[in-house]
Amino acid sequence: MAEMVGIAFAFSYIGDAFHGSQIQPEVRTVQKDLQIAFHKAKFAGSNPLLRFSSRTDAGVTARMNVA
CB 56 within 8 A of CB 66: no
From the candidates 11, 57, 59, 64, which is the catalytic residue?
57
33 classed as catalytic: no
Residue type for position 65? N
CB 54 within 8 A of CB 15: no
CB 13 within 8 A of CB 62: yes
Active site residues: 57
